[in-house]
Amino acid sequence: MSRSLRGAVCTMTGAVLWGFSGACGQYLFTNYQVDPSWLTSVRMMTAGIILTLFIFVKQREHALGIWHNRRDAIQVVIFAIFGLLFCQYAYLTAISYSNAGTATVLQYLGPVLIMVTVCLRMRRLPTGREAAAVILAVLGTFLLATHGNLSTMVLTEKGLFWGLISAVSLACYTLLPAGIIPRWGSMVVTGYGMLIGGTVLACAIRIWQIPVSLDAGGWLAVGGVAIAGTLVAYTLYLQGVGDIGPVKASMLASIEPVSATLLAVFWLGSSFEMMDLAGFVCIMATVFLLVRKRNGE
Protein backbone atom coordinates (compact mmCIF):
# COMPACT_ATOMS: atom_id res chain seq x y z
CA MET A 1 0.00 0.00 0.00
CA SER A 2 1.40 3.39 -0.99
CA ARG A 3 1.80 6.08 1.64
CA SER A 4 -0.91 8.28 0.11
CA LEU A 5 -3.38 5.39 -0.04
CA ARG A 6 -2.55 4.38 3.52
CA GLY A 7 -3.10 7.96 4.66
CA ALA A 8 -6.46 8.17 2.93
CA VAL A 9 -7.61 4.85 4.36
CA CYS A 10 -6.47 5.72 7.89
CA THR A 11 -8.07 9.17 7.78
CA MET A 12 -11.41 7.95 6.49
CA THR A 13 -11.46 4.98 8.88
CA GLY A 14 -10.78 7.31 11.81
CA ALA A 15 -13.56 9.65 10.67
CA VAL A 16 -16.01 6.75 10.31
CA LEU A 17 -15.14 5.63 13.84
CA TRP A 18 -15.80 9.16 15.12
CA GLY A 19 -19.22 8.95 13.53
CA PHE A 20 -19.65 5.48 15.05
CA SER A 21 -18.87 6.85 18.51
CA GLY A 22 -21.61 9.45 18.09
CA ALA A 23 -24.09 6.72 17.13
CA CYS A 24 -23.00 4.65 20.15
CA GLY A 25 -23.63 7.69 22.33
CA GLN A 26 -27.12 8.10 20.90
CA TYR A 27 -27.75 4.38 21.50
CA LEU A 28 -26.74 4.73 25.16
CA PHE A 29 -28.84 7.88 25.72
CA THR A 30 -31.91 6.33 24.08
CA ASN A 31 -31.82 2.82 25.52
CA TYR A 32 -30.05 3.21 28.87
CA GLN A 33 -30.68 6.87 29.80
CA VAL A 34 -26.95 7.29 30.40
CA ASP A 35 -25.91 10.70 31.77
CA PRO A 36 -23.85 12.62 29.13
CA SER A 37 -21.45 13.84 31.84
CA TRP A 38 -20.83 10.24 33.01
CA LEU A 39 -20.14 9.07 29.45
CA THR A 40 -17.89 12.06 28.78
CA SER A 41 -15.83 11.37 31.89
CA VAL A 42 -15.50 7.64 31.17
CA ARG A 43 -14.59 8.34 27.56
CA MET A 44 -11.90 10.85 28.42
CA MET A 45 -10.37 8.96 31.33
CA THR A 46 -10.20 5.68 29.42
CA ALA A 47 -8.53 7.25 26.39
CA GLY A 48 -6.35 9.45 28.62
CA ILE A 49 -4.99 6.56 30.68
CA ILE A 50 -4.13 4.48 27.61
CA LEU A 51 -2.56 7.41 25.74
CA THR A 52 -0.56 8.50 28.79
CA LEU A 53 0.82 4.99 29.32
CA PHE A 54 1.75 4.88 25.64
CA ILE A 55 3.63 8.19 25.67
CA PHE A 56 5.55 7.17 28.80
CA VAL A 57 6.75 4.10 26.91
CA LYS A 58 7.39 5.74 23.53
CA GLN A 59 8.01 9.43 24.32
CA ARG A 60 9.19 9.45 27.92
CA GLU A 61 11.31 12.60 27.51
CA HIS A 62 8.34 14.63 26.25
CA ALA A 63 5.97 13.00 28.73
CA LEU A 64 8.03 14.33 31.64
CA GLY A 65 9.51 17.43 30.05
CA ILE A 66 6.22 19.23 29.49
CA TRP A 67 5.71 19.50 33.27
CA HIS A 68 9.10 21.17 33.75
CA ASN A 69 7.87 24.18 31.77
CA ARG A 70 5.38 26.03 33.97
CA ARG A 71 3.81 27.99 31.13
CA ASP A 72 3.27 24.91 28.96
CA ALA A 73 1.94 22.92 31.92
CA ILE A 74 -0.67 25.63 32.58
CA GLN A 75 -1.62 25.62 28.90
CA VAL A 76 -2.15 21.85 29.00
CA VAL A 77 -4.51 22.21 31.95
CA ILE A 78 -6.42 25.04 30.23
CA PHE A 79 -6.67 22.97 27.05
CA ALA A 80 -7.83 19.93 29.05
CA ILE A 81 -10.73 21.81 30.66
CA PHE A 82 -11.75 24.48 28.16
CA GLY A 83 -10.73 22.58 25.04
CA LEU A 84 -11.12 18.82 25.31
CA LEU A 85 -13.59 18.60 28.19
CA PHE A 86 -15.72 21.42 26.80
CA CYS A 87 -15.69 19.81 23.33
CA GLN A 88 -16.46 16.25 24.42
CA TYR A 89 -19.22 17.19 26.86
CA ALA A 90 -20.96 19.64 24.51
CA TYR A 91 -20.93 17.14 21.64
CA LEU A 92 -22.36 14.24 23.63
CA THR A 93 -24.97 16.48 25.25
CA ALA A 94 -26.02 17.73 21.80
CA ILE A 95 -26.50 14.11 20.74
CA SER A 96 -28.63 13.42 23.81
CA TYR A 97 -31.02 16.23 22.80
CA SER A 98 -31.05 15.53 19.04
CA ASN A 99 -29.26 12.68 17.27
CA ALA A 100 -25.76 11.71 16.20
CA GLY A 101 -26.07 13.00 12.64
CA THR A 102 -27.45 16.44 13.48
CA ALA A 103 -25.08 16.99 16.41
CA THR A 104 -22.05 16.02 14.32
CA VAL A 105 -23.03 18.32 11.46
CA LEU A 106 -23.66 21.26 13.81
CA GLN A 107 -20.23 20.71 15.36
CA TYR A 108 -18.75 21.20 11.88
CA LEU A 109 -19.69 24.87 12.17
CA GLY A 110 -16.50 25.07 14.23
CA PRO A 111 -14.19 25.81 11.26
CA VAL A 112 -16.36 28.80 10.36
CA LEU A 113 -16.00 30.16 13.90
CA ILE A 114 -12.24 29.64 13.70
CA MET A 115 -12.15 31.57 10.42
CA VAL A 116 -14.14 34.44 11.96
CA THR A 117 -11.78 34.49 14.96
CA VAL A 118 -8.75 34.66 12.67
CA CYS A 119 -10.29 37.53 10.69
CA LEU A 120 -10.95 39.45 13.91
CA ARG A 121 -7.43 38.86 15.18
CA MET A 122 -5.91 40.01 11.89
CA ARG A 123 -8.40 42.86 11.61
CA ARG A 124 -9.33 41.98 8.06
CA LEU A 125 -12.53 41.29 6.16
CA PRO A 126 -13.32 37.73 5.05
CA THR A 127 -12.37 36.76 1.52
CA GLY A 128 -15.07 35.86 -0.97
CA ARG A 129 -14.69 32.15 -0.19
CA GLU A 130 -14.80 32.80 3.55
CA ALA A 131 -17.90 34.99 3.24
CA ALA A 132 -19.61 32.25 1.20
CA ALA A 133 -18.75 29.76 3.97
CA VAL A 134 -20.40 31.99 6.60
CA ILE A 135 -23.55 32.38 4.48
CA LEU A 136 -23.77 28.62 3.91
CA ALA A 137 -23.22 27.93 7.61
CA VAL A 138 -26.03 30.28 8.64
CA LEU A 139 -28.34 28.89 5.94
CA GLY A 140 -27.58 25.29 6.92
CA THR A 141 -28.26 25.97 10.60
CA PHE A 142 -31.49 27.76 9.71
CA LEU A 143 -32.69 24.80 7.62
CA LEU A 144 -31.85 22.30 10.35
CA ALA A 145 -33.57 24.31 13.06
CA THR A 146 -36.72 25.43 11.20
CA HIS A 147 -36.91 23.50 7.88
CA GLY A 148 -37.19 26.89 6.22
CA ASN A 149 -40.24 28.07 8.16
CA LEU A 150 -39.58 30.94 10.57
CA SER A 151 -42.75 30.18 12.53
CA THR A 152 -41.69 26.66 13.51
CA MET A 153 -38.81 25.15 15.45
CA VAL A 154 -38.13 21.58 14.31
CA LEU A 155 -34.94 20.99 16.25
CA THR A 156 -35.43 21.25 20.02
CA GLU A 157 -34.06 24.40 21.62
CA LYS A 158 -31.66 22.38 23.77
CA GLY A 159 -30.55 20.36 20.75
CA LEU A 160 -29.78 23.54 18.80
CA PHE A 161 -28.16 25.22 21.80
CA TRP A 162 -25.79 22.34 22.57
CA GLY A 163 -25.12 21.80 18.89
CA LEU A 164 -23.94 25.40 18.56
CA ILE A 165 -22.01 25.14 21.82
CA SER A 166 -20.27 22.05 20.44
CA ALA A 167 -19.20 24.13 17.42
CA VAL A 168 -17.78 26.80 19.74
CA SER A 169 -16.05 24.08 21.75
CA LEU A 170 -14.52 22.59 18.60
CA ALA A 171 -13.06 26.01 17.78
CA CYS A 172 -11.62 26.25 21.31
CA TYR A 173 -10.28 22.70 21.04
CA THR A 174 -8.49 23.64 17.82
CA LEU A 175 -7.12 27.04 18.84
CA LEU A 176 -6.07 26.52 22.48
CA PRO A 177 -3.22 24.00 22.01
CA ALA A 178 -1.72 25.70 18.95
CA GLY A 179 1.29 26.95 20.92
CA ILE A 180 2.24 23.72 22.71
CA ILE A 181 1.57 20.95 20.17
CA PRO A 182 4.57 21.92 17.98
CA ARG A 183 6.87 21.65 21.02
CA TRP A 184 5.57 18.47 22.64
CA GLY A 185 3.54 16.67 20.01
CA SER A 186 -0.19 16.12 19.70
CA MET A 187 -0.08 12.69 21.36
CA VAL A 188 1.41 14.09 24.60
CA VAL A 189 -0.88 17.12 24.74
CA THR A 190 -4.03 15.15 23.94
CA GLY A 191 -3.16 12.26 26.26
CA TYR A 192 -2.69 14.54 29.26
CA GLY A 193 -5.66 16.65 28.18
CA MET A 194 -7.95 13.63 28.10
CA LEU A 195 -6.72 12.36 31.46
CA ILE A 196 -6.93 15.73 33.23
CA GLY A 197 -10.25 16.74 31.70
CA GLY A 198 -11.87 13.38 32.43
CA THR A 199 -10.60 13.37 36.01
CA VAL A 200 -11.78 16.93 36.67
CA LEU A 201 -15.25 16.13 35.35
CA ALA A 202 -15.40 12.85 37.30
CA CYS A 203 -14.66 14.68 40.53
CA ALA A 204 -17.06 17.54 39.71
CA ILE A 205 -20.02 15.24 39.06
CA ARG A 206 -18.97 12.66 41.69
CA ILE A 207 -19.05 9.93 39.09
CA TRP A 208 -19.01 7.22 41.75
CA GLN A 209 -22.45 8.38 42.92
CA ILE A 210 -24.12 8.25 39.49
CA PRO A 211 -26.17 5.06 39.08
CA VAL A 212 -25.45 3.21 35.84
CA SER A 213 -27.20 0.02 34.79
CA LEU A 214 -25.73 -1.47 31.63
CA ASP A 215 -25.85 -4.94 30.14
CA ALA A 216 -23.26 -6.40 27.77
CA GLY A 217 -24.63 -4.40 24.83
CA GLY A 218 -24.45 -1.19 26.82
CA TRP A 219 -20.84 -1.76 27.83
CA LEU A 220 -19.95 -2.58 24.22
CA ALA A 221 -21.43 0.78 23.23
CA VAL A 222 -19.34 2.48 25.93
CA GLY A 223 -16.31 0.77 24.42
CA GLY A 224 -17.37 2.03 21.01
CA VAL A 225 -17.32 5.59 22.36
CA ALA A 226 -14.19 5.38 24.54
CA ILE A 227 -11.95 2.98 22.59
CA ALA A 228 -13.01 2.74 18.95
CA GLY A 229 -14.39 6.26 18.64
CA THR A 230 -11.73 8.06 20.64
CA LEU A 231 -8.43 6.20 21.02
CA VAL A 232 -8.40 4.21 17.75
CA ALA A 233 -10.02 6.97 15.68
CA TYR A 234 -7.57 9.60 16.94
CA THR A 235 -4.55 7.35 16.28
CA LEU A 236 -5.68 6.54 12.74
CA TYR A 237 -6.40 10.20 11.98
CA LEU A 238 -2.93 11.24 13.15
CA GLN A 239 -1.40 8.59 10.91
CA GLY A 240 -3.43 9.96 8.02
CA VAL A 241 -2.29 13.53 8.69
CA GLY A 242 1.31 12.32 8.72
CA ASP A 243 0.88 10.52 5.40
CA ILE A 244 -1.17 12.96 3.32
CA GLY A 245 -1.02 16.27 5.21
CA PRO A 246 -3.61 18.20 7.23
CA VAL A 247 -5.48 19.76 4.27
CA LYS A 248 -6.36 16.51 2.52
CA ALA A 249 -6.90 14.78 5.85
CA SER A 250 -9.38 17.48 6.93
CA MET A 251 -11.34 17.10 3.71
CA LEU A 252 -11.45 13.30 3.93
CA ALA A 253 -12.42 13.50 7.62
CA SER A 254 -15.63 15.26 6.61
CA ILE A 255 -17.01 11.76 6.03
CA GLU A 256 -17.61 11.73 9.80
CA PRO A 257 -21.09 13.33 9.72
CA VAL A 258 -22.02 11.10 6.79
CA SER A 259 -21.17 7.98 8.80
CA ALA A 260 -22.93 9.34 11.90
CA THR A 261 -26.07 10.11 9.87
CA LEU A 262 -26.15 6.75 8.10
CA LEU A 263 -25.68 4.89 11.38
CA ALA A 264 -28.39 6.99 13.02
CA VAL A 265 -30.79 6.08 10.21
CA PHE A 266 -30.02 2.41 9.59
CA TRP A 267 -29.01 1.35 13.09
CA LEU A 268 -30.94 3.63 15.43
CA GLY A 269 -33.99 4.40 13.30
CA SER A 270 -33.59 8.19 13.18
CA SER A 271 -35.39 9.94 10.34
CA PHE A 272 -34.36 12.99 8.34
CA GLU A 273 -36.31 15.12 5.89
CA MET A 274 -35.06 16.79 2.72
CA MET A 275 -34.63 20.09 4.56
CA ASP A 276 -32.36 18.35 7.08
CA LEU A 277 -30.24 16.94 4.28
CA ALA A 278 -30.11 20.34 2.59
CA GLY A 279 -28.88 21.84 5.85
CA PHE A 280 -26.25 19.08 6.12
CA VAL A 281 -24.99 19.85 2.61
CA CYS A 282 -24.78 23.60 3.29
CA ILE A 283 -22.77 23.15 6.49
CA MET A 284 -20.45 20.49 5.09
CA ALA A 285 -19.78 22.65 2.02
CA THR A 286 -18.15 25.18 4.35
CA VAL A 287 -15.46 22.62 5.23
CA PHE A 288 -14.36 22.33 1.61
CA LEU A 289 -14.47 26.08 1.12
CA LEU A 290 -12.27 26.73 4.15
CA VAL A 291 -9.69 23.93 3.91
CA ARG A 292 -9.16 23.97 0.19
CA LYS A 293 -5.95 25.77 -0.69
CA ARG A 294 -6.05 28.71 -3.01
CA ASN A 295 -3.97 26.83 -5.56
CA GLY A 296 -6.82 24.35 -5.95
CA GLU A 297 -5.25 21.44 -4.08
Per-residue pLDDT of the chain (297 residues; tens, 9 = 90+): 688 889 889 999 999 999 999 999 999 999 999 999 999 999 999 999 999 998 888 888 878 889 998 999 999 999 999 999 999 999 999 999 999 999 999 998 988 888 888 889 888 888 888 899 889 999 999 888 888 887 778 888 999 999 999 999 988 888 888 888 888 888 888 899 999 999 999 999 999 999 899 999 999 999 999 999 988 998 888 788 888 877 788 778 888 999 999 999 999 998 888 999 999 999 888 888 887 644 444
Using alpha carbons, select from 148, 197, 165 the residue that is nearest to residue 96. 165
CA distance 1 to 6: 6
CA distance 91 to 294: 31
Domain ranges of the chain: 3-291
Q: Do 167 and 14 meet the contact criterion of CB atoms below 8 Å apart?
A: no
Phi, psi of 145 (to 5 degrees): -80, -35
CA distance 160 to 145: 7
- pTM of this prediction? 0.89
